[in-house]
Amino acid sequence: MFHKALTYSPITLIRAPKIHTDLLWDLVVLFIVLSVLYFVSVFYFRNKLSKASKKLKEKKTEFSPIVSEFLFYDETDSKTEKSNYINLKIQIRELLKDKYNRKVLTDVLLDLRKDVSGQTQINLFELYQNLELHKDAYVKLKSWKWQIVTSGILELTKMQVSESYTFLIKFINDKRPTIRKHAEIAVVTLDDRGISYFLDTTKYRISEWQQLKLLDVLRNKENFEIPKFKLWLTSKNKHVVLFALRLIKYYNQNDATKSLIPLIKHKSNQIKQEAINCIEEFYVEEAIDTLKLVFWKSSEDVKMSILSAIATIGTENDLDFLVEIEQRVRSFAVRSKAISTINEIAPETILPSDHIEKDTAFENTIPDIIEHEDAPEISISDQLQQKLEEKNVVEEVKENNTDEIIENHNDILVEVEDKKDNIDEVLTEKEIEEDLELTEVTKQEDVVESERENVTELPVEVEEESVLEENINQNEVLQNIEVVAESIAQNQKQMDINREEEEINEELKISLDFLPLVIEEQEEKGIQEPKAVVEDEVIVENRELDLSFLPLVIANTEDFVRHSVTSNPEEITSQKVDSNEPELQDSIDFMELDFLPFVENTDQNFKEEQAIQSLDNLFDFIPKPHQISDEESEKLLLLADIEEFGDAREIPLLDEYLANEKSPFLIERIEEIMEEIVKRTPFVIPKEKEELIEDSSLVRGFISEIFANQDVESQLILLKEIAIVGDEKEAAFLRTLIKETSEAVVVEKANEALTIIKDRLSIEAQNTNLNEEPPVTQEVDLSEDEKSEETDSMFDVNFELSPNTEDIDITLKTEKKKDNKSTSFGSQLSEISKRIKDILNGQ
Amino acid sequence: MLNKKILLADDDELFASLLIFRLKKAGFQVTHVTDGKQAKEHLVDNLPDIVVFDIMMPYFSGIELIDHVRNEVKSNIPIIIVSSAGNEENVLNALEMGANDFMSKPVSPSELLVRVTRELKKM
């Protein structure tokens, strides 16, 4: 075959190798044979195992009733049963002569041992020994195979063969770990002295798992007197010491405190840690000095254990040590543990500080939080409290900065206190003080902030730390500040004023109306006086800025002195024009300042100027207060309501106010409202058309309309009344009526009435000339109106009926006069309607 | 308690023989089956006075046999479960399904006898 194989040419890489067919058949036959052998062997061994298993099962089935009989044998059983029992004993002894049967019986007993308990289990152990099956286990112990020895130890242990203890203790220090570990369990299990012997003699390491198993054995031992494990704290085997420490802790053997303390210094971290755990568990206060001693050279785990122990047994005397740890140790875990230990010994000694934002960080977020629905509401009292805290910080700044600031602000506060007495019935005195102080705080913050950031647009909030840091060199900084950007400061001043007004109004929700004027007693100077701020001018400016009624008084004339514009009021104007606000500039452009009074500072203001000068313009950024008395503010509120909800019917009331009012801005405000009402009321007659209306159509239209809707009889009655009460207007009407009416009776009556009116008017004209009284005109000023005592007739009121005659809407013209009769529009209206009704009813 | 019929279903024949011996010695008629299928068949053919089931058995578990007895056979005969799987889940499950008692291995045959007697007395 090999010869044939060699006759072929060598295998090339190009073509498939040529293999002789016979060789292939030979290989097929070979593999078939091998397969058959494999399957035959598998079948054979499987069959053999099955037979063995079957045989074992049969044997177990055979032995199980025998075992049951032995297990449940009772001396009280009947003679038959006793006889049966004796027969079984004889039978089983014959069976046990066979080694296999012994093995099967041993297996049966071992199997049953795990399923039964109680007395049956005890009977089982006794049966095992009575049948001398344990001797087979002894034989196994002599085997050189570790697995056989181990099975022997395990069998003796399971079947509780106590007498095997002496045979097993020699395996405790066996080199083979499996045998050693089973021997350790067996020794501890089979005899109460086993644990002591084991701990005394073992030279090998006791694994963690082995410790658990030994502990489990000890736990489940009945009637077991636990030895004092402190005896093994001196063992040369450190694993024994460690196991003993754990057993001491488990069994709460707290009589070993003196032995525990030296173990804190043990080289082994495990033993050290376990000893510390015991010390903590047993509250060994004597160990605390040793704990402190070993702390610095211990590992991190041991340090944590020491800190835990100190937390339990430590006192406040140990706080210094813990603080030292917190400061010196780099480990995050140890430092954290030290802090928690401090707090455990002395609760809340160290409060949370990391990642905690400063109070000032929440300063500007308060309005946002309030607006947010989900956010908890912050009461004003809380805000005030926060402000007061901030004020304290700023006060520190003040103290460290300059005494001038303090003096200056004391002056201001004194002034404020003086003014405060005259105002405020709404707020309590305490609230006023708080508000004023808060205002001062806000000013201070802005001053410092503006100073630091070189007069740029900055948030109002001031970090406490930054303030304090700035505080150190504040004097130097303030002294070295040069006024190099005065125009910027001037602009910033106005911006700060507005900003502070907004902030204070929005955050505190408290009106600043009551704040006093910085300068009240301004004496009017000549027009050439250099220091001049015109109050009315500022009012106009404020109106342009939508500050409407607030009488803003700029008292700080120092600005103008500082900016070298003191010689000419025009330069003052130009300074203001330089500001960034076009509205202001525009408002100033058209103003004539010549006629306005100049204001002079008082002594108090002079003090303030001194402080301001010393601060080098810092007070330019303090908002100027506005003074409005309570009475004025109430009027303003009333006027605002009238403006919003009022109509033509409020004009008489406004007229009355206008007549009584002396405050210029309130007068202007009233006039504005009246104009506003006139504009939005369609029935109000524009002023420029008054004469036209009076002369012609409207009054005549009213009478003629009434006249036209009546029958002839009613018209005659009406003409009779017109003749009694009419004047020039009715005369004009009558003339028109005479021309247009075809009814002869009506024309006749109209002529009569016209004649009567003319006669009366002529008599009145004569009387007027005799009294030399000036005629009452529409365009007289208030003072003249007040003197006028002219009695208006009901037809003197300019009014117009609405298209719907039933809805008699009458509007009054806006006359600037105070006449109770003329202003009681309602009474006139009712009188007219009553009169007309009477006429129509023929009365 | 003489002649009371007990059905013992347990695939551990060695342990079963021990129990059978003990119960027979106490006077009960014990029928032993080694899987759930045989147990069902026996329940159809001859309903015992009390049944002792293991949980882990071929074909049908002891829990399924409880359900069979209670819902299909519709019998209120006492059922005692004897199992080495004596965890809480199995115990609760068996008791909820209608078992009268549960014993975890290792079991004292004498204790089982007492429990069987007690359950039969309840009927």
Q: Which residues in chain B have their CB less than 8 angstroms from residue A70's CB? A: none
Q: Suggest the residue from A117, A119, A124 to mutate for an interface test with chain B (most B CBs closer than 10 A).
A: A117
Shortest Cα distance, chain A CAs vs residue B7, angstroms: 19
Q: Which residues in chain B have their CB less than 8 angstroms from residue A120's CB? A: 18, 108-110
**Searching chain A, which residue's CA lies closest to the CA of residue B107?**
A116
Q: Which residues in chain B have their CB less than 8 angstroms from residue A112's CB? A: 14-15, 18
Distance of CA A247 to the CA centre of its chain: 52
How confident is the model at residue A379, as a pLDDT? Answer: 43
Mean pLDDT of A736-755: 82
pLDDT band at A8 (very low <50, low <70, confident <90, very high): low
How far apart, in whole angstroms, are the C-alpha atoms of residue A360 and residue A468? 13
Say whether both A642 and A614 belong to one domain. no
- Report CA-CA distances (Å) from A830 to A67, A794, A819: 129, 10, 18
pLDDT band at A827 (very low <50, low <70, confident <90, very high): low
Q: Give the full edge-to-edge strand order of the sheet including B29-33.
A: B29-33, B5-9, B50-53, B79-83, B101-104
- Report CA-CA distances (Å) from A509 to A29, A362, A385, A472, A513: 109, 17, 15, 34, 12
**Under an 8 A CB cutoff, do A65 and B21 touch?**
yes
**Under an 8 A CB cutoff, do B18 and A119 touch?**
no
**Searching chain B, which residue's CA lies closest to the CA of residue A61?**
B14
How far apart, in whole angstroms, are the C-alpha atoms of residue B66 and residue B93? 10
- CA angle A698/A699/A700 to nearest 5° reads 95
Shortest Cα distance, chain B CAs vs residue A322, angstroms: 48
Shortest Cα distance, chain B CAs vs residue A60, angstroms: 7
Q: Which of A111, A117, A121 has the CB atom closest to B14's CB atom?
A: A111
Task: List pLDDT tens digits, range A462-501.
Answer: 344 444 444 444 444 444 444 444 544 555 555 555 665 5
Task: List pLDDT tens digits, range A336-347.
Answer: 999 999 998 888
Say whether both A667 and A751 belong to one domain. no
Shortest Cα distance, chain B CAs vs residue A156, angstroms: 19
Residue that is last in its domain, among A607, A631, A655? A631
| Token pair for A147 | 């697995």
**Under an 8 A CB cutoff, do A117 and B14 touch?**
no
Neighbour tally for A650: CB within 10 Å = 18
pLDDT band at A376 (very low <50, low <70, confident <90, very high): very low
Say whether both A608 and A502 belong to one domain. yes
**Under an 8 A CB cutoff, do A120 and B13 touch?**
no
**Under an 8 A CB cutoff, do A115 and B12 touch?**
yes
Is B5 strand, coil or helix? strand
pLDDT band at A694 (very low <50, low <70, confident <90, very high): very low
Q: Which of B14, B21, B106 has the CB atom closest to A117's CB atom?
A: B106
Q: Which residues in chain B have their CB less than 8 angstroms from residue A78's CB? A: none
* C-beta contacts of B63-69 below 8 A and 24+ residues apart: B63/B90, B63/B93, B63/B94, B63/B97, B64/B36, B65/B9, B65/B36, B65/B39, B65/B40, B66/B94, B66/B97, B66/B98, B66/B99, B67/B97, B67/B98, B68/B40, B68/B43, B69/B43, B69/B98
How confident is the model at residue A511, as a pLDDT? Answer: 45
Shortest Cα distance, chain A CAs vs residue B89, angstroms: 21
Q: Which of B15, B18, B108 has the CB atom closest to A118's CB atom?
A: B108
Neighbour tally for A482: CB within 10 Å = 9
Say whether both A644 and A719 belong to one domain. no
How confident is the model at residue A660, as a pLDDT? Answer: 80
Say whether both A423 and A570 belong to one domain. yes
**Under an 8 A CB cutoff, do B108 and A111 touch?**
no
Structural domain includes residue A448 = yes
Q: Which residues in chain B have their CB less than 8 angstroms from residue A115's CB? A: 12, 14-15, 18, 84, 105-107
Is A626 strand, coil or helix? strand
- Amino acid identity of residue A66, one-letter, is I
**Under an 8 A CB cutoff, do B106 and A121 touch?**
yes
Neighbour tally for A619: CB within 10 Å = 23
Q: Suggest the residue from B10, B13, B15, B17 to mutate for an interface test with chain A (most A CBs closer than 10 A).
A: B17
Are A69 and A90 in contact by the 8 Å Cβ rule? The answer is: no
Minimal CA–CA distance to A385: which of A409, A359, A415, A365?
Answer: A359
Among A139-153, A168-182, A301-315, A606-620, name the one with the lowest average pLDDT: A606-620
**Interface confidence: ipTM more than 0.85:** yes
**Under an 8 A CB cutoff, do B106 and A116 touch?**
yes
| Token pair for A247 | 């057993």
Residue that is last in its domain, among A647, A680, A713? A680
End-to-end, the C-alpha distance of chain B in Å comes to 12
Which single residue is written with the structure tokens 């250099």? A530
Shortest Cα distance, chain A CAs vs residue B33, angstroms: 15
User: Would you say residue B82 has pLDDT above 60?
Assistant: yes
Contacts of A56 (CB under 8 A, 6+ apart): A104, A107
Task: Indicate the number of domains in chain A.
Answer: 3
Interface of B with A (CB under 8 A): 12-15, 17-18, 21-22, 25, 84, 105-111
Task: List pLDDT tens digits, range A113-133.
Answer: 999 999 999 999 999 999 999
Say whether both A533 and A466 belong to one domain. yes
Structural domain includes residue A15 = no
| Higher-scoring residue by pLDDT: B39, A88 | B39
How confident is the model at residue A831, as a pLDDT? Answer: 67
Q: Which of A72, A108, A119 has the CB atom closest to B14's CB atom?
A: A108
Among A305-319, A358-372, A389-403, name the one with the lowest average pLDDT: A389-403
Among A171-175, A200-204, A466-470, A767-771, name the one with the lowest average pLDDT: A466-470
- Residue-number span of the structural domain to which A816 is assigned: 695-770+783-840
Q: Which of the given ranges, A449-453, A789-793, A822-826, B30-34, has the highest pLDDT on average?
A: B30-34
How far apart, in whole angstroms, are the C-alpha atoms of residue A563 and residue A546? 28
- What mean pLDDT, rounded, does chain A reach? 70
Are A151 and A106 in contact by the 8 Å Cβ rule? The answer is: no
Task: List pLDDT tens digits, range A597-630.
Answer: 444 444 555 555 565 565 555 555 555 555 677 7
Q: Which of B13, B25, B109 has the CB atom closest to A116's CB atom?
A: B109
Neighbour tally for A434: CB within 10 Å = 21
Q: Which of B21, B107, B110 has the CB atom closest to A115's CB atom?
A: B107
How confident is the model at residue A565, as a pLDDT? Answer: 38
Q: Which of B14, B105, B107 has the CB atom closest to A60's CB atom?
A: B14
Mean pLDDT of A645-664: 79
Say whether both A700 and A832 belong to one domain. yes
- What mean pLDDT, rounded, does chain B reach? 91
Q: Which residues in chain B have their CB less than 8 angstroms from residue A64's CB? A: 13-14, 17-18
State yes or no: cis peptide before A262, omega within 30 of 0. no
How far apart, in whole angstroms, are the C-alpha atoms of residue A71 and residue A124? 6
**Searching chain B, which residue's CA lies closest to the CA of residue A77?**
B25
| Higher-scoring residue by pLDDT: A515, A329 | A329
**Which residue ranges form the domains of chain B, and what is each CATH number?**
5-122 (3.40.50.2300)
Structural domain includes residue A171 = no
Structural domain includes residue A725 = yes
Mean pLDDT of A173-182: 95
**Helix, strand, coil in percent for chain A, rounding step 5:** 70, 0, 30
Which single residue is written with the structure tokens 């009989």? A69
| Token pair for A449 | 């902030």
Shortest Cα distance, chain B CAs vs residue A337, angstroms: 40
Q: Which of A60, A69, A120 has the CB atom closest to B108's CB atom?
A: A120
B81 beta partners: B53, B102
Q: Which residues in chain A have their CB less than 8 angstroms from residue B13's CB? A: 57, 60-61, 64
Q: Which residues in chain B have their CB less than 8 angstroms from residue A121's CB? A: 106, 108
How far apart, in whole angstroms, are the C-alpha atoms of residue A401 and residue A472? 8
Q: Which residues in chain B have their CB less than 8 angstroms from residue A65's CB? A: 17, 21
**Under an 8 A CB cutoff, do B111 and A118 touch?**
yes
Q: What is the DSSP string of A384-446?
A: HHHHHHHHHHHHHHHHHH-HHHHHHHHHHHHHHHHHHTTS-SSS-HHHHHHHHHHHHHHHHHH
Say whether both A619 and A721 belong to one domain. no
| Token pair for A795 | 């037809």
Shortest Cα distance, chain A CAs vs residue B86, angstroms: 13
Minimal CA–CA distance to A131: which of A154, A174, A98?
Answer: A98
Say whether both A483 and A562 belong to one domain. yes
Interface of A with B (CB under 8 A): 57, 60-61, 64-65, 67-69, 71-72, 108, 111-112, 114-121
Neighbour tally for A731: CB within 10 Å = 19
Minimal CA–CA distance to A57: which of B28, B113, B17, B115?
Answer: B17
Q: Which of A61, A72, A115 has the CB atom closest to B106's CB atom?
A: A115
Say whether both A395 and A544 belong to one domain. yes
Is A766 strand, coil or helix? helix
Shortest Cα distance, chain B CAs vs residue A82, angstroms: 14
How confident is the model at residue A43, as a pLDDT? Answer: 96
Among A157-161, A333-337, A403-407, B30-34, name the one with the lowest average pLDDT: A403-407
Q: Which of A61, A69, A120 has the CB atom closest to B13's CB atom?
A: A61
**Under an 8 A CB cutoff, do B110 and A119 touch?**
yes
Contacts of A434 (CB under 8 A, 6+ apart): A384, A387, A388
Say whether both A459 and A607 belong to one domain. yes
Say whether both A505 and A651 belong to one domain. no
Task: List pLDDT tens digits, range A52-68.
Answer: 999 888 888 888 888 88
